[in-house]
Structure 1
Amino acid sequence: MYLKNPLSVSELGTLWITYQEKTMILRILEFFIEKSDDQEAKNIMGMMWQELDYYVELITEIFVKEGAVIPRGFTKEDVNLNAPRLFDNGFDIMFLRILKEMSMGMYTLNMNMAYRVDVMTIYEGLTTITLKCYKLATIYLLKKGILSLPPHITMPTTTEFIESKKYMSGLNPFTEKRPLNAIEVGFLHHGIETNNIGMQLITGFAQCAKNKEVRKYFEKGKDLAKKHIKVFQDLLLDNDIQFSATSGSTVTTSTIAPFSDRLMMFCIDLLNGFSIVGNSFGTFFTLRNDLSFKTTLLAKDIFFYGQEGLEIMFKHGWYEEPPQSEDRNQLINRNE
């Protein structure tokens, strides 16, 4: 019965963005698989490629059955498999892990807007393979010594309750700040980890982007990632907690682009959105007001940086337009 229902606007929208994201990831995986010399890493990425390609085909079938145009997404024209390796030292699996972390949140939102069984089944399947890939990637990176573990604190031995609003204080420089709690330390560690990967990614993109405006945009993003890392590291150090960054340099000296400028810009746009959501999530669960204030300011920087990126994509015709609702005023006034 549910399969006979026409595709709703929310389902059309989520399938459209899923198609864009998945075709982008397929192109990135194709390059990483081609350049990898580690069989275990190739197996993880190859498994992910096969699974994602299957679901892209399912989404394509739905578009065809519904009479909707198939999005362009990202094709073989957006990847250059002959380009030299751009990243080293397990960056391929590090970045895949971040992409799957981003996908987890997207699938939850998409499932919440799905009403047809076939659409829900797609997001259910994508969630399953994403969780599997994320686990395999994490185990691989830890085994290789590439991924650093979060800090440790003394285990609690009693249950305590907050009894004063002083627990939230931190903005007043003349007031003593309480130590960071486990949730706050975890958020700061995660922020450093993701921005470190983002900084390496966008450094590589900046080296090889063909368009001068795009290169400058990526350079600005690299500086923004550095700023975030410094803010988070300083907060940890002020609490006598040392962060151990991922090992090794991961960006080669290649200046030959493995991906189109359009694909790289779209990738950074997705990561910008992920960063804003991640900062908002951390701010909500942070109970010290100086942390909330600083993460809010960082989210503002990401928002305006993202807007600048969209303007560049619009200018060059790189952003595929999502399905639009009917313009009733245009239809009514067509003969005037």
Structure 2
Amino acid sequence: MIYLSSSNRVRLTSSEMASLWSEYINHTHSSCMLEYFIAKAEDDEVLEVLNKTYQIIEISKDNTKRILESENVPIPMGFSSQDVDVNAPRLFSDSFFLLYIKNLSRVMVASCGLMFTMSTRKDMREHFKECLSKSSTVFDNVSDVLLNKGLYTRPPVIEPPKKSDFVEDKDYLNGINLFGDQRFLNAIEISHVFGNIEANVIGNALTKGFGQTADLKEVREFMENAGGLSEKIINLLTQFLSGSQLPAPMPSDTQVYNSSHPSFSDRLMMYQITTLSAAGLSDYATSLATSQRNDLKRHYMDLIDDTVKLAKKAENIMINNSWKEQPPQQDKIKL
């Protein structure tokens, strides 16, 4: 990639700086997670996916660091080998590694796409376009392996309607059919309900593993509360699918081993949950905006409120322990 020379460079916008800063920290975090996964993976296909993903993350991390340095933006501390113990006992199964990478790549595709559209300079657009392409490659790779191993949980299949139609009664929004029966979820609603359940299955497994191995009591208690919220969300949204006679992805206790030896630092684990909470808030907001059943909308509003409260607790724990890095901001102009 060719970057603008210092003589004709247009300064980074605040959006571009924020994107690069956040991207670098996210990559350092993902590298730590992947180093541990690679050290513990037993299946050759799983190991191949993990190694390819790690290489992509490392290349992107180095590119991002070079841009920050060239723009005189301080490099964030991020995460390092001090935040992961690759010699710790196994905490998660190979199947969980694949599901984690699938969810990671999904978040990366969304964030890189947003960063791309927030960028102005051509070299920055090229950087995030490449990031988007690499994230898509990770998603393709892990999806193929999940499918080959029969581990890919497909969204529900429904029969297509016999013809196109229009909504003719406001009861449709209340979740009621013309004859007074509860209306089944439509395809758009199903896709978001299913996706939110799937994401919380990953979060539930993470909080269980993190809760077992956290050093500080407040972190262990937080992970227990976070796991409780994920279980609440899974159970609630599963009821919507079962009410429409549809299957739901279910968590598996076999994905988490009984180790109590810390595999990751408390700081890294808390950061992981804050990123999942942020992704969840974005997903619930999108689900709220696109769903049409009012009862489903109300529940999404409640989930947003619950997740905001959880995220606030996480932020307070991180600040109290000096774990939260401060993003770049405008200095006050002295008059």
The alignment's TM-score, normalised by the length of structure 2, stands at 0.93
Partner of 2:304: 299
Aligned residues, how many?
327
Pick closer, same or farther for the CA change 1:247–1:145 going to 2, 3 Å.
Answer: farther
The answer to whether the 8 Å contact 2:215/2:266 transfers is: yes
The answer to whether the 8 Å contact 2:41/2:94 transfers is: no
The answer to whether the 8 Å contact 1:170/1:290 transfers is: yes
Pick closer, same or farther for the CA change 1:38–1:28 going to 2, 3 Å.
Answer: same
State the Cα deviation string for residues 85-133 of structure 1 (Å, max 9, x = none): 1101411111011111111111122112211222212211111111111
Partner of 2:211: 206
In 2, the alpha carbon distance for the partners of 1:284 and 1:116 equals 31
Partner of 1:189: 194
Partner of 2:220: 215
Q: 1:283 offset after TM fit, Å? A: 1.2
Pick closer, same or farther for the CA change 1:36–1:14 going to 2, 3 Å.
Answer: same
Q: 1:145 offset after TM fit, Å? A: 2.4
The answer to whether the 8 Å contact 2:113/2:129 transfers is: no
The answer to whether the 8 Å contact 2:192/2:287 transfers is: yes
Partner of 1:141: 146
Pick closer, same or farther for the CA change 1:246–1:229 going to 2, 3 Å.
Answer: closer
Do residues 12 (structure 1) and 17 (structure 2) align? yes
Do residues 61 (structure 1) and 66 (structure 2) align? yes
Q: 1:246 offset after TM fit, Å? A: 5.7
State the Cα deviation string for residues 194-250 of structure 1 (Å, max 9, x = none): 111110111000000101101100000000000001101111222222325366610
Q: Which runs of 4+ in 1 moved over 3 A?
A: none
Task: Identify the range of structure 1 (4-13 vs 317-326) with the bigger mean alpha-carbon deviation.
Answer: 4-13
Q: 1:285 offset after TM fit, Å? A: 1.1
Q: Secondary structure at the match of 1:60?
A: helix
Q: 1:176 offset after TM fit, Å? A: 3.7
Task: Identify the range of structure 1 (250-259 vs 188-197) with the bigger mean alpha-carbon deviation.
Answer: 188-197
Pick closer, same or farther for the CA change 1:270–1:244 going to 2, 3 Å.
Answer: closer
Pick closer, same or farther for the CA change 1:149–1:246 going to 2, 3 Å.
Answer: farther
In 1, the alpha carbon distance for the partners of 2:196 and 2:277 equals 13
Partner of 2:275: 270
Alignment partner of 1:117 out of 119, 122, 139: 122
Q: Which amino acid aligns with 1:165?
A: K
The answer to whether the 8 Å contact 1:148/1:246 transfers is: no
Q: 1:163 offset after TM fit, Å? A: 1.5
Do residues 85 (structure 1) and 94 (structure 2) align? no
Q: 1:141 offset after TM fit, Å? A: 1.5
Please provide the CA RMSD for this pair: 1.7
Partner of 1:231: 236
The alignment's TM-score, normalised by the length of structure 1, stands at 0.93
Partner of 1:51: 56
Task: Identify the range of structure 1 (293-302 vs 157-166) with the bigger mean alpha-carbon deviation.
Answer: 157-166
In 2, the alpha carbon distance for the partners of 1:217 and 1:317 equals 17
State the Cα deviation string for residues 283-328 of structure 1 (Å, max 9, x = none): 1111110001111101110011001100000000001111121123
Task: Identify the range of structure 1 (301-310 vs 133-142) with the bigger mean alpha-carbon deviation.
Answer: 133-142
- Using the aligned pairs only, state the percent identity: 31
The answer to whether the 8 Å contact 1:148/1:245 transfers is: no
Q: Secondary structure at the match of 1:5?
A: coil
Q: Secondary structure at the match of 2:255?
A: coil
In 2, the alpha carbon distance for the partners of 1:144 and 1:248 equals 19
In 2, the alpha carbon distance for the partners of 1:25 and 1:89 equals 17
State the Cα deviation string for residues 41-78 of structure 1 (Å, max 9, x = none): 11111111112211211111112222222111111111
State the Cα deviation string for residues 11-40 of structure 1 (Å, max 9, x = none): 111100000101100110111011101111
The answer to whether the 8 Å contact 1:283/1:295 transfers is: yes
Q: Secondary structure at the match of 1:255?
A: coil
The answer to whether the 8 Å contact 1:209/1:215 transfers is: yes
Partner of 1:102: 107
Do residues 260 (structure 1) and 245 (structure 2) align? no
Structure 1 segments unaligned to the other structure (5+ residues):
none
Structure 2 segments unaligned to the other structure (5+ residues):
none
In 2, the alpha carbon distance for the partners of 1:216 and 1:320 equals 23
Q: Which amino acid aligns with 1:263?
A: L
